Structure 1
């Protein structure tokens, strides 16, 4: 089900700047797992409260693990059912995003944001080997009625100044709606704005399954896949990659192979109606 993604433009740092701005490709679905499976996954997340740990980040200069700019709880997970849904959706996602690289594996963590939960501006370059071709996917879960406010995802555009790519002052806002998922390039700058959780109950937190989809090694791409916005976004994201690559995901997730696509379940664009 297609959904609207809101846009926002911040005041420019220079009113005379004419730097071009290109939106990051994005694809969003509602009702991704369906009511029954989404409810089961939410119940599972709540039942594992004692196993969540504070989420971490990697310093892009030193490569050291820290919690600077992030306040959330994480739990590395694997799910055959969720992996199958990802695999069946990817052909359509890649078509919409203009993505041409070969993707073979995923890293997945359950994330919980409570009172003051947030994640500052960043890319997912520390999560994947080849940020120019990898995808990020965020699947949202929460109780109903919703027990939190805020927690929206801001997906920033890319601008070009003096031959360099960098995050723009424009972004799109994605609501963390239950059983919805959003896909975007792992090189895209993004952040999670602070959330509030008045009850303080873990069951009222903002939950998500965050997944990084990539190749086991530097991805093999089609001839034209290294051009355009993907190339420029990757250049900007490389500044956020730690000098020394991490040997392991800093939140403890392990890679899992993507399953084969089920031809009967593969998502496709609906046929165009003639008028």
Structure 2
């Protein structure tokens, strides 16, 4: 018998309208500051991960971090994950334009360079311009032990929605089609990682 698909939670209308609009405005105003997405130790490999990222959310960072910290223990319980005390929240803005994707991976890692703690929960907040200028880009959640090409459960990147799942769970970002190639038409997301202190 196959193990179940990765447990997850999905929330619509996660941010109020002014905050969501402010985040989109911030993202578009800072488009020139986005850089190619990196893997561990600063490696850029567009065969594995193709997108642009920015590690600065300006005044919106505090708003998102507060929401995530307040909800983390509830989400952990709902997902039947190991209880933990949040030590840090890491945020990353991501823009997925034409051809962008992220192959099968998990959000946990082991590195002597990273002393901040252990990633316990991953959350992805989706937002985009209206009307939507892209297609695709679903978050595909997999079973433990999944391999590239295995079937999974797709979650559409709907505007102002948030998906939460355990960081150890295998997942991928399916390819994005954005015919205009305009940055403003991208599939935007805030990747959020909630940590516990390393013992």
Same fold (TM over 0.5): yes
Unaligned stretches of 5+ residues in structure 2: none
Shift of 1:146: 0.5
Q: Deviations over 1:10-63 (max 9, x none)?
A: xxxxxxxxx4322211011011111111011011101101000000113xxxx6
C-alpha separation between the residues in 2 aligned to 1:71 and 1:170?
A: 21
Structure 1 residues 88 and 130: alpha-carbon distance in aligned structure 2, compared to 1, 3 A threshold: closer
> 1:96 aligned to 75, 78, 83, which one?
78
Q: Give the corresponding residue for 1:29.
A: 11
Unaligned stretches of 5+ residues in structure 1: 1-18, 159-165, 219-275
Q: Deviations over 1:63-100 (max 9, x none)?
A: 67232411100000251111111122223312211121
Q: Give the corresponding residue for 1:137.
A: 123
Shift of 1:144: 0.9
Q: Give the corresponding residue for 2:44.
A: 66
CA RMSD of aligned residues (A): 1.8
The answer to whether the 8 A contact 1:33-1:85 is kept is no
Partner of 1:217: helix, strand, or coil? coil
C-alpha separation between the residues in 1 aligned to 2:79 and 2:151?
A: 19
C-alpha separation between the residues in 2 aligned to 1:45 and 1:173?
A: 25
C-alpha separation between the residues in 1 aligned to 2:108 and 2:151?
A: 21
Partner of 1:81: helix, strand, or coil? helix
> 1:80 aligned to 58, 62, 65, which one?
62
C-alpha separation between the residues in 1 aligned to 2:10 and 2:70?
A: 14
Which entry has the higher C-alpha Rg, 1 or 2?
1
What is the TM-score when the length of structure 2 is the normalising length?
Answer: 0.87
C-alpha separation between the residues in 2 aligned to 1:64 and 1:117?
A: 18
Q: Give the corresponding residue for 1:125.
A: 108
What is the TM-score when the length of structure 1 is the normalising length?
Answer: 0.64
Shift of 1:129: 4.0
Q: Give the corresponding residue for 2:99.
A: 116
Q: Give the corresponding residue for 1:202.
A: 183
Is residue 146 of structure 1 aligned with residue 132 of structure 2?
yes
C-alpha separation between the residues in 2 aligned to 1:182 and 1:52?
A: 23
Partner of 2:6: helix, strand, or coil? coil
Is residue 176 of structure 1 aligned with residue 175 of structure 2?
no
Shift of 1:215: 1.5
Which deviates further from its counterpart, 198-207 or 167-176?
A: 167-176
Q: Give the corresponding residue for 2:20.
A: 38
Q: Give the corresponding residue for 1:163.
A: none
Partner of 1:125: helix, strand, or coil? coil
